[in-house]
Structure 1
C-alpha cells in the first residue's frame, strides 16, 4: 500500500499567519503537500481550481467561517476530509448548527500538539467508507 501522505493535498486555513504557516510546515516535513492560507475566500478559490484531499481550518475567521468554508469545499469535492480547530468557546454553537444541517465535522482544540495533529490526520485519512 502506498503512503497516503505523498499524494495528499492539504489546505491549512487560519487567519493568523503564524498558525497557518507553522501547521503547513509541520505537515510538509511529514510528507504532505500542504498549503497555508490566511484568507478563507482565497482557500475556497484555490479549492475550485484543485480541491484538497484534506481541509484543516480554524472555525472563527473574518469573511467566512471555517464551518462555511468546509461546507463549500465539501460541495466542490465530497471526498475531501475536514478537520476544524478552534480556541474559542463559541465554536460549539456554530458546530451544532452545522450538525443539525447534516454536516458532521470533527473539532480539535487549539493549541494542538503536532503529534496529536498528525495522529488525527492519519485517523481521518485512513477512514474507509463501506
Structure 2
C-alpha cells in the first residue's frame, strides 16, 4: 500500500464486544490474510472481540498451512499477496473446504481483472474495498456465517 494513503481509524473500544454465551459457546474460525500485518492483526482482533476465532496470516502459503491445521468457516483475504494471490488462495481453500465462505478485499483497482478471470473460471467471490469499517466487516461476516435454513423434503 502506498505511504501517502490515509485510512480512518476506528478505536477498538468502538468495536462491539460479544460474549461467548451469546454465540452459544461456538466461535467460528475466521482466517484473515493480508501482507500488511497491522491490517490482518487488527481485523483478527476485531473478529475475536466480536465472538469469532480470528486468525491472522500474512501470505497465501502460510494461510493455506493454517487452514489445513485449523479449518476456517470463513476466509477473508486481500487479493494482492506475495506469492499466490488471494484469489488463488480462495480457490485452494474452497477446493479443500467447499462450505468455507470467502470474502476478498482490496485497496487496488487493478484487482478487477483478477476477479473477472476467476469469475470466468466459475469462481464467484464477494469483493470489499479497503478501508473496511469494522461494523461493515462484522455485518458481512455475520451474514455469511448464518446457518442456512434447511428445507424439509417430503417423502412420497
**1:60 counterpart residue number:** 80
Q: Which moved more, 1:45-54 or 1:61-70?
A: 45-54
Q: Please tell me whether Structure 1 or Structure 2 has the larger radius of gyration of its CA atoms.
A: 2
**2:30 counterpart residue number:** 10
Q: 1:39 aligns with which of 32, 37, 59?
A: 59
More helix by share: 1
How far 1:4 sits from its partner (Å)?
A: 7.5
The 8 Å contact of residues 23 and 51 in structure 2, kept in 1 or not, is answered as no
**1:26 counterpart residue number:** 46
Q: CA RMSD in A?
A: 1.7
TM-score (norm 2): 0.78
How far 1:113 sits from its partner (Å)?
A: 0.5
Establish whether residue 90 from structure 1 lines up as the match of residue 110 from structure 2. yes
Q: How does 1:103-114 map to 2 (within 5 A)?
A: 103-114=123-134
User: Runs of at least 4 residues of structure 1 off by over 4 A?
Assistant: none
TM-score (norm 1): 0.93
**2:140 counterpart residue number:** 120
How many residues in Structure 1 have an aligned counterpart in Structure 2?
A: 129
Runs of 5+ unmatched residues, structure 2: 1-21, 151-156
* Counterparts in 2 of 1:77 and 1:22: CA distance versus 1, 3 Å: same
* Counterparts in 2 of 1:43 and 1:90: CA distance versus 1, 3 Å: same
Runs of 5+ unmatched residues, structure 1: none
